[in-house]
Amino acid sequence: MNTTRCPEAAEASRGPERRYQLKRKRILIVEDDRLSLIVLRQLLTAQGYEILHSSEGWDGINRARNEQPDLIVMDIRLPDISGLDATLLLKKDDQTKSIPIVAVTACVTPEDKAKALGSGCDAYLAKPVSIRSLLRTVESFLPWSS
C-alpha cells in the first residue's frame, strides 16, 4: 500500500500504539471485585487508555472530582455506597456532571437497567461483559478523532 496516497490507512495500520500517541484518554474504573478489575484494566489498557481505579464509591467520587477522567466505568454493588448513589452524586456535581458513566454490573434485570439509566448512567453493560460491547461502548464516548 502506498502510504503517501492514503495517510489515514497508514495511521490506522499502526494500531493501538498510534492511538496512544494521538490522545491517551483516562478512564476511572470503580470496581471492588479484583478479577473484574483485572479484566477491565487489561482490555482498556490494551486499547491505549490510561486507567485509574477505585474499589469504593466514596473514593471513586473523590477521584472523579480530583482527576477529571474522560469516562467512568461504575460497578453498581460497592462496599460503601451503591454505584447508583455514587452516579447520582456525580451527575449533580458541576465538576463531574459531564463525565460519561457506564454501569458495568451483575444486576441484570430490566428493572436494574432502568434504575442505572435513571440514576444518570449514560450506558449499561451486564456482566459478564462482552469485549466487543465494552469496547464499542467506550469508543462511543471516547472517539479517537477528538
| Residue 11 neighbours by CB under 8 Å, 6+ apart | 18
Sheet hosting strand 123-126, strand order edge to edge: 50-54, 26-30, 71-74, 101-105, 123-126
Comparing 53 with 9, the larger pLDDT belongs to: 53
The pTM for the full model equals 0.83
Work out the average pLDDT over 41-58. 97
Q: How far apart are CA 76 and CA 73, in angstroms?
A: 10
pLDDT at residue 22, rounded to an integer: 53
Residue with cell 497508514: 10
As given in the structure block, the three cell numbers for residue 100 are 460519561
User: How far is CA 126 from each of CA 7, 101, 112, 122, 138, rounded to the nearest angstrom?
Assistant: 38, 14, 10, 14, 14
Q: pLDDT of 111-121, one tens digit each?
A: 999 999 999 99
How far apart are alpha carbons 7 and 9 in whole angstroms? 5
Please write the tens of the pLDDT for every residue from 77-132. 999 999 999 999 999 999 999 999 999 999 889 999 999 999 999 999 999 999 99
Domains (ranges, CATH) in the chain? 24-140 (3.40.50.2300)
Q: Provide mean pLDDT across the span 12-36.
A: 73
- d(C-alpha 55, C-alpha 76), whole Å: 11
